[in-house]
């Protein structure tokens, strides 16, 4: 039996989804074949499988970089720390070349372009295992080949903003 039509509009749906607090990631890869850097701010990241290790994230079909992410062999998902709000904003808008201005880059062990920033709370170098069409988004399933983490506080996204992100000021001793 088919689903019944939604009894709410897109604005209300977005608002309801916004009650779910998430972390924030930046997903990097390169264009093919000319290897220009690409990066996107993505909060739809989630765990999928422990063995084998797999993660997912979803990308709007409207993203101008969509074709490159579909074709990429690998990408790196960086989990942002609370001190990296500037990166979350930088990688959500504007031309790709601007997003990487004054941003240090490195190579993950498997050769994938990544941010060279030790503040990232974690990163996952992923093989671009599968892509599934779902409404107006594409779900990417990544098989994790290498990962790294530290214990920095995460950047938190909720209700369309970063208000729940813990303060990065030193805690008072009183």
Ligand X SMILES: Cc1cc2nc3c(=O)[nH]c(=O)nc-3n(C[C@H](O)[C@H](O)[C@H](O)COP(=O)(O)O)c2cc1C
Cβ-based nearer residue to ligand X, 135 or 170: 135
Instruction: Give the C-alpha separation, 148 to 142, whole Å.
Output: 15
Shortest reach from residue 173's CB to ligand X, in Å = 33
Cβ-based nearer residue to ligand X, 45 or 152: 45
Shortest reach from residue 174's CB to ligand X, in Å = 34
Q: Which pairs with CB-CB distance under 8 Å and at least 24 residues apart come from 91-98?
A: 91/26, 91/39, 91/40, 91/41, 92/40, 92/41, 96/36, 96/37, 96/38, 96/39, 96/65, 97/36
Cβ-based nearer residue to ligand X, 152 or 157: 157
Name the residues that contact ligand X, by CB under 6 A: 24, 40-44, 58-60, 63-65, 88, 91-92, 157
Cβ-based nearer residue to ligand X, 93 or 174: 93
Shortest reach from residue 37's CB to ligand X, in Å = 12
Shortest reach from residue 4's CB to ligand X, in Å = 26
Strand partners, 46: 56
């Amino acid at each position: 039996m088919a689903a019944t039509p939604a009894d709410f509009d897109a604005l209300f749906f977005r608002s309801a989804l916004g009650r779910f607090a998430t972390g924030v990631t930046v997903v990097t890869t390169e264009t093919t074949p000319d290897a220009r850097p690409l990066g996107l701010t993505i909060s739809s990241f989630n765990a999928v499988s422990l063995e084998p290790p797999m993660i997912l994230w979803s990308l709007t079909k409207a993203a101008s970089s969509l074709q490159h992410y579909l074709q990429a062999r690998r990408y790196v998902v960086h989990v942002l720390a609370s001190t990296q709000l500037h990166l979350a904003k930088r990688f959500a808008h504007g031309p790709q070349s601007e997003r990487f201005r004054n941003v240090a880059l490195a190579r993950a062990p498997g050769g994938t372009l990544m941010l060279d920033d030790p503040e990232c709370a974690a990163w996952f170098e992923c093989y671009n295992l599968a892509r599934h069409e779902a409404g107006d988004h594409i779900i990417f399933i990544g098989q994790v080949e290498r990962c790294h983490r530290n214990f920095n506080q995460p950047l938190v996204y909720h209700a369309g903003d970063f208000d729940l992100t813990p303060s990065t000021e030193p805690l008072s001793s009183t």
